[in-house]
């Protein structure tokens, strides 16, 4: 099993977490290029209210102006991950794996599938049936019911020479009102949900973290080291 360093960053501003990811990403990349492998990382955190737009995203999917952004105590960043616009905030589990996929024998498409799979396994432990959704990344519910299909976990990654950064955002006890200020991931006809909404009660956040850690390590065949 491949050892991966796990770090729980707690609540961290998006920009600070992005800069930290870049630092680790560059270390892993340099190690790869110099043939002196660096450790791989899995970071967990929560962000204060923030909207992020992926490099292939459309600004029209951001539906509010700067004045309203300040009113709702949120920030906005154009970022270098794939995907369109999404929201991060309190009660949402954000995971940033910084992995050299070649060390795991995983192609990029399979990597995204495996990330989704780890979240699907985590949701299943709470009786929530998550699914892959053809033509879209992330984890979805009721994919076979056109008017009820909704997303519970967003995924957006960047990879260069098979080294990854950015990752997933699982809505645990997230304030879903913030998603009404965007077309989430560019969709205008799909809903967004959370574990709290689906179960009808607050979900123990640290418990979800632990289950997600275990399922990510299982799916990728990694040993997480604190």
Q: Which residues are catalytic?
A: 185
Rounded CA separation 144/43 (Å):
33
Which H or E run includes 151?
strand 150-160
Contacts of 130 (CB under 8 A, 6+ apart): 116, 119, 120, 123, 124, 139, 140, 141, 152, 153
Q: Is residue 9 within 8 Å of residue 41, measured between CB atoms?
A: no
């Amino acid at each position: 099993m491949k050892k991966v360093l796990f770090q729980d960053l707690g609540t961290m501003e998006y920009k600070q977490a992005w800069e930290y990811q870049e630092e680790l990403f560059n270390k892993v990349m340099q190690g790869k290029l110099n043939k002196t492998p660096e450790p791989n990382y899995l970071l967990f955190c929560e962000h204060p209210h923030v909207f992020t737009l992926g490099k292939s995203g459309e600004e029209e999917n951001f539906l509010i102006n700067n004045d309203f952004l300040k009113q709702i105590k949120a920030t906005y960043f154009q970022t270098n991950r794939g995907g369109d616009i999404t929201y991060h905030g309190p009660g949402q589990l954000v995971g940033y794996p910084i992995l050299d996929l070649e060390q795991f024998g995983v192609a990029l498409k399979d990597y995204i599938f495996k990330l989704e799979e780890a979240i699907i396994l985590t949701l299943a432990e709470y009786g929530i049936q998550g699914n892959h959704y053809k033509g879209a990344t992330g984890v979805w519910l009721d994919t076979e019911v056109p008017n009820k299909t909704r997303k519970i976990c967003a995924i957006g990654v960047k990879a260069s020479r098979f080294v990854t950064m950015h990752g997933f955002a699982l809505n645990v006890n997230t304030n879903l009102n913030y998603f009404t200020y965007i077309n989430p991931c560019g969709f205008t006809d799909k809903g967004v949900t959370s574990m709290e909404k689906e179960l009808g009660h607050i979900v123990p956040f640290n418990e979800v973290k632990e289950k997600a850690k275990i399922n990510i390590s299982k799916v990728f065949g990694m040993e997480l080291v604190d």
